């Protein structure tokens, strides 16, 4: 499989009408969305007031990192059942980030707009994870061997900027 970009995730999904294998955790849309979320959280945590609140900044950055880490660890699991278990950990970490956002907002470390955007980003990541969990629980499916059905996309081509559609 040729990469269209020298750096970053390889294109995945349907190419020339046929399914392509998912070879790396970076190919998963949920991991890429979690990475974007983590970047936002770290940018907030570096701010003057926020960065001095060691307990909260450590908690929220740790939770955001856990979203990514658990997707990655689960991808390398030896079974879909174990992958799903790690995806549930990742999902719970999204909720932890959302909870910490309330505290950051209450302490005025982030604006109301930042709170809402990042809270919504957490919900988006969780929704993508939920789709992957449903897919992996489908008999005879594996994220490492197949692409998902048309109705729920768990992967997107690299560089795709479209927002996840509800459905």
User: Domains of the chain (ranges plus CATH)?
Assistant: 22-136 (1.20.1440.60)
Task: Tell me what pLDDT residue 140 has.
Answer: 74
Task: Tell me what pLDDT residue 30 has.
Answer: 97
pLDDT, tens digit only, all 167 positions of the chain: 333 333 333 333 333 444 557 889 999 999 999 999 999 999 999 999 999 999 999 999 999 999 999 999 999 998 999 999 999 999 999 999 999 999 999 999 999 999 999 999 999 999 999 999 999 998 876 655 544 333 334 444 344 332 222 33
Q: Return the C-alpha torsion angle 153, 5, 122, 69, nearest 10.
A: 100
Residues 6+ apart with CB under 8 A from 71: 25, 28, 30, 31, 34, 86, 87, 90, 129
Query: Residue 28 in 3-state DSSP?
Result: strand
Reported pTM: 0.74
Contact 10, 32 (CB under 8 A): no
How many CB atoms are closer than 10 A to CB 25?
19
Task: Tell me what pLDDT residue 133 has.
Answer: 96
Q: Which of 3, 30, 133, 135 is nearest to 12 (CA)?
A: 3
């Amino acid at each position: 499989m040729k990469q269209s970009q020298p750096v970053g995730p390889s294109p995945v999904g349907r190419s020339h009408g046929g399914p392509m294998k998912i070879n790396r955790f970076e190919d998963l849309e949920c991991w890429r969305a979690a990475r974007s979320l983590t970047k936002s959280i770290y940018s907030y945590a570096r701010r003057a007031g926020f960065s001095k609140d060691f307990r909260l900044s450590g908690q929220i950055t740790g939770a955001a990192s856990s979203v990514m880490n658990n997707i990655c660890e689960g991808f390398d699991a030896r079974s879909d059942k174990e992958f799903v278990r790690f995806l549930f950990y990742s999902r719970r970490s999204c909720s932890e980030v959302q909870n910490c956002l309330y505290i950051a907002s209450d302490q005025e470390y982030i604006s109301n707009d930042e709170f809402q955007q990042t809270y919504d980003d957490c919900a988006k990541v969780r929704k993508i994870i939920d789709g992957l969990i449903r897919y992996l629980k489908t008999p005879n499916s594996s994220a490492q061997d197949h692409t998902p059905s048309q109705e729920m996309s768990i992967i997107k081509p690299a560089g795709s900027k479209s927002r996840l559609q509800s459905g």
